[in-house]
Amino acid sequence: MSRISAAALVVALLATACTNSARDDPADHFPVAPVVTVLASGLTAPWGLAFLPDGSALLTERDSRLIKAVARDGTVRTVQRVTEANSSGEGGLLGIAVSKDYSRDKLVYAYYTTAHDNRIARFKLGETPQPIVTGIPVSGIHNGGRITFGPDGYLYAGTGDASARGRSQDVTSLGGKVLRMTPEGKPAPGNPYPGSLVWSYGHRNVQGLAWDSHGRLYASEFGQNRHDEVNLIQPKHNYGWPTVEGVGGGGRFTDPLVTWNPPEASPSGIAILHQVIYVACLKGERLWRIPIAGDGTLGRPQSLLVGQYGRLRHVAVGPDGSLWLLTSNRDGRGDPVAADDRLLRLDPKALNPG
């Protein structure tokens, strides 16, 4: 794990789009060690996680292209292989989401890489995936991949620039965007560009999407060399990539709420629990905790699990109000131990001691 130099933390107002520049000073570690339970081990580069109405979960493995079911007692079984997925570089079987009406329609959604594109498909478990969105740019890197249903009932997807920076500023491209669509994959009503899935643009590589209790959408974004980000996503806003990395939009671009140097973050999945943003970090090998105050201000970021479980790919709120975490130590960039990769559960009581 990288040695991190201490630095001051600047606390900012969300409403004015100022930015927290977070550094991992030991004084900024969360004061309570969460109780962590290993729910499952022996996974291989798990990537996505979604919950079924009965409290069990579905997770994806990027390289094996398997969808696995995790029972509430932690028992894991394989339910499907997405054979069309192509696991190469950062691509493969990525995000997964469950229909808002799953009890009736039994539909599951997956975001995956093929030899020609990234795409989103829906299907009943055990049946052939039916693509609903195709043509998302593909590359060995920056494939995005997170999908989740919003409180408005529409499906959102985070995409990457697929190593071609110009796509992020091109609103006719699906690369480097946050997309918003109907469950059938059509542009959702109210999208800012007629006939387009594009909701926001100017992104480098979005792999985390989550809403707070006020319906505000936040996204995590990988920077290049200087600044990883958490952004407040608003329709038609331009988040600056590749012209700006981090803060510096000068009014033309929307600045991030929080930035880190990549050794402290490389953020992938995010979750929001009790008005606290949790950010799972790959290179940073930690979980960041960022409170959202009632007046819209962001509190001081604090780190948890620093270096304890290696690379963290995703965090999600479980049906019981706990946090579930996926490690990513067998993705070709980690240092796996025998138990890797793992599905972890964090007890919510310790996370909200007040």
Q: What is the pLDDT of residue 22?
A: 66
Q: Do the domain assignments include residue 12?
A: no
CA–CA separation, 180 and 158 (whole Å): 9
Let me know if residue 5 belongs to a domain: no
Whether residue 325 is contained in a domain is answered as: yes
Residue 195 covered by a domain: yes
pTM: 0.93
The alpha helices in 13-168, defined as continuous H runs, are 102-105
Look up the CATH number of the domain holding residue 94: 2.120.10.30
Ordered per-residue pLDDT tens for the chain, 354 residues:
332 222 222 233 333 334 676 666 665 788 888 899 999 999 999 999 999 999 999 999 999 999 999 998 889 999 999 999 999 999 999 999 999 999 999 999 999 999 999 999 999 999 999 999 999 999 999 999 999 999 999 999 999 999 999 999 999 999 999 999 999 999 999 999 999 999 999 999 999 999 999 999 999 999 998 899 999 999 999 999 999 999 987 789 999 999 998 889 999 999 999 999 999 999 999 999 999 987 766 788 999 999 999 999 999 999 999 999 999 999 999 999 999 999 999 998 877 755
DSSP three-state, residue 154:
coil
H/E run at residue 348: helix 348-351
- d(CA 264, CA 251) in angstroms, rounded, equals 27
The number of distinct structural domains making up the chain is 1
Residue type, 123: F
The answer to whether residues 171 and 198 touch, using CB atoms and an 8 Å cutoff, is yes
User: Within 13 Å, how many C-alpha atoms sit on residue 133's CB side?
Assistant: 33
Measured over the CA atoms of residue 110, residue 111, residue 115 and residue 116, the dihedral's sign is: positive
Residue 7 lies in a domain: no
Domain-located, residue 4? no
Whether 2 is in a domain gets the answer: no
Residue 208 lies in a domain: yes
Token pair listed for 154: 């529409």
Residue 311 to residues 77, 328, 342: CA-CA distances in angstroms?
23, 5, 10
- Look up residue 13 and give its amino acid: L
| Domain, as residue range, for 166 | 20-351
